Amino acid sequence: MSRYIKERMVEQYAERFREVSDVAAVATEGVDANRMVALRAALRERGLEAMRVQNRLCQRAIRDGPLAGADPLLEGPTTLVWGADGIVDIAKALAEQARDVSALEIRGGFSQGQVLSPQQVEALSKLPDREALIGQVVARAVGQASRVVRLATAPAVGLLARIREIEKRAAEEAPAEEPSQEETGES
């Protein structure tokens, strides 16, 4: 490959990965072309992109970007996967695809300046998705707010119950009024 082509590839990698901060590396050796097309389509449906890279050229391209430090992932034939809402979405999609495509090997990931092992990527794939986590936070916040309201209104509710009890007792203990002369018809 000529020097000019290599320089253009480095530029393309740098442009492609300029905004990428979370990525996973997979080995796709042994995955036939039809399976690879299906894999890319499945990833695209989830908002993810996949690209097979030449390691040395990619290392040069990412050296100064948000993926600086991801070099350990670039050994051997490597396909990088990125996109969606971050590393958890990437991990979930890859774990699901690895069950269907036995030749797909998750090598690791990179997120927030940290290289992740294959086991860490697998652990991330078991986390709830973003919407579920937001739902859990909202449920806890609402639960705490309702607890505060209950505690704040408890004395008033107790006082109201006492007042009603006293009114009821007063009504029961009050002597029955004697009928007036007009009601009895006497003069």
Q: Which CATH class is domain 3-127?
A: alpha beta
Q: Residue 168: phi, psi to the nearest 5?
A: -65, -45
CA atoms within 13 A on the CB side of 30: 8
Query: How many Cβ atoms are within 10 Å of 27's Cβ, its own excluded?
Result: 16
Domain boundaries, the chain: 3-127, 133-175
What is the full per-residue pLDDT of the chain (187 aa) written as tens digits? 889 999 999 999 999 999 999 999 999 888 888 999 999 999 999 999 999 999 999 999 998 889 998 999 999 889 999 988 889 999 999 999 988 888 889 999 999 889 999 999 999 988 877 777 788 888 888 888 788 888 788 788 778 888 888 888 888 887 655 555 555 555 5
From CA 176, how far away is CA 21, in angstroms rounded? 84
Beta-carbon contacts of 148 under 8 Å, excluding residues fewer than 6 positions away, are: none
Numbers of helices and strands, H then E, in the chain: 7, 5
- E strands, the chain, in order: 23-27, 48-53, 78-83, 105-111, 114-116
Q: CA 29 to CA 77: how far, in whole Å? A: 7
Whole-model pTM: value is 0.68
- Token pair of 113 as six digits: 């300046």
